[in-house]
Every structure is written in structure tokens, then in C-alpha cells.
Structure 1
Amino acid sequence: MNLAVGTVNPAKVSAVKSCWSFGEVRGFKTESGVKDQPFGHDETRQGAINRAFNAAALFDGACGIGLEGGVTEHQDGLYICNWGALFVPGFKETFTASGAGIRLPDELAAPLRNGEELGPLMEQYSMQKNIRQNEGAVGFFSNGRITRAQMFEHIVELLIGQWEYAKNK
């Protein structure tokens, strides 16, 4: 079964390709239907769901997967949050899963609360171009122990596992 990924971001597409062994994987530029910088788990999850459906519509008969990164507020500060969604034709449910979270420095939290995007802020903070296409904030703040692709691989494996469980019930 082929899979359409709702992004062309190399970190996300490579994460999916490393996990999906059921057919061809292709990335597509899709809209999330949420703000450019999703805020909170609900909005970030909805962005992933929207990307999964939008991607599936672009690859005839394929499943669709959406991966979305956002930020969410906790008592002690702002954290990154990440969600994925898997749409499989013929299944009544869309599978969803969330991933790692890590607290962001206060100097990044304030501009994010004011509507700025994490990607450009991370480029300034880290002095690295295209950081969201590579290690991402999670890679930077985990000292490279967990890259953005690895974080999304975890989510993709959770999605695939849910689908396998459901189809074997």
C-alpha cells in the first residue's frame, strides 16, 4: 500500500520512509488548515489530521500521513509538541499519536506567544540555516541525542502499530 506524506520537509519524509515498508512513499506539499505555528495539542493534532487527508487525495488509492509540529503551554513554560495522523482508506478511524516534548528557553517562548514561528526563531537562536529541515529544535536542545527525524520516526511507528493492531482485530 502506497503512502502519501503531507509534506516535502526532508526530516519528516525521511522519518516516514525509514518506517513504511508496505509500498511507495511520496511527499506532497499540503496545507495543514491551522496556523503556521500551531499552538496547543488540539491545533497541532488537527494540522496532522488535515495533512493526512490532503496528502491521500493527491496519490490515488494511497494512505495519507500527516506530521505536525507545534508548541504548547505548561505551568513551567512553553514546550514543543508533535503529532501525527494516519488515514487508511477503508478504516473508519484516523489513527493519531503524539511525540516528544521538550521545554523551550524563555527567550523563545515570548516571541512564540506573540505569534512568531519556531523555525525562523530557531535559525536565529542556533545560528543554523534550515534547522527545521534537519535536526530541529528537539535536536538542538537535546544536544543531538534526538533529531527531528528520529522524533517523527517514533510517531510514525506508533501510527503504523495502531493500524496493524486494528486490521488484525
Structure 2
Amino acid sequence: MFAKLGLFLVAIVLLSIIWFFVKGKVSRTHEQVRDRALEGGFGRAMTSGPATKQLTMMGRTLTLAADPQRTGELIAHVAGADDRVTAVRPESGALVVEIDGSRPLVRAHLLPDRTVIGVDEMSWEMGFPQGAQVWSRVADAIAESAAKQGISVAEGAREFVKADRPSESQEVWVVRS
């Protein structure tokens, strides 16, 4: 009985080691195929429609017509409730909302008579801006919560350009100035 159990455990260990190497090779092959597709015209054609839609989502801004104390608390509460928001921190005259650790970086500019919130910078990976769905969900929640509190909300749009600064592994896009 112990011999069969020992043989079974050895088989599990050997199969785990084999799976580790096979999985790594498959992942590297998939990455190479994806990179070739994105470099060629086919990859760009496949991603251009969805990327344009997500870029439009990332450019969405909200203007909340209320005092900065009230809107800051509302934004911190609503954004902080989303599970993909990793930090909400104050900054001089603003409130910064970090999604997924760093990007997209959303900034709420707390002005005396209104607050303007939108994405200031984002990363672009695998043919798409990252975090568009999350930002859209957070923006919808902020607009809904503000409307329930009687705060007037207006929507706007921003355009982005690729940043000149180098990054380790991803493109960084910022608001066009």
C-alpha cells in the first residue's frame, strides 16, 4: 500500500514538473504569435474598432457642480467602493484615484465651484487602453450617486496622445494639452 502511495506521489511530482515546462513554452509561443499579429496590419485591423471605443470611454470626464468638500467625499466614497480601485489619495487641489495599482490614473480637480474628474494618464498594452471598463463603471457610479444627492453632473471628453517619456514595458498615454 505504501509503495502504491509513494509511486502515486512521484507520478504527481513528475507530471507537475512536465506541466510547468510545457505551460511556459505554450505561453511564450502565444506571446510571440500575439506580438506578430499586432505588428502586422491584421492585428491593428482587429483591435482598431474596440480600441477606439475604449479610448472614447477613457476620455470621458464628469463635472460635478458642488463645493469641493462635498464632491471630494462623494468621489472618495464611491471610487473606494470599487474592488479594482487600489487607492484614493488627496493631492494639492485634487483627489487621485488609482485603478489596478497605477494606471489608469484618474484625477479629480477640486475647484471652488465645481469638480472635474477624468483620466489623466493610462497605459496602452496589447493594442488596447487598459482599465476602460473600470473607469466607465466608476464614472457611472459617481454620476448616479451625485444625481441622487442633487448634484448637477455634466459630461465632457478628453483626447490622449502617446507620452514621450520612456516606460519599462508599456506605452503611457496622457491628456492632450
TM range (shorter): under 0.3
User: Whose strand proportion is higher, 1 or 2?
Assistant: 2
Q: Which structure has the larger Rg? A: 2
User: Whose helix proportion is higher, 1 or 2?
Assistant: 2
Task: Provide the TM-score with structure 1 as the length reference.
Answer: 0.27
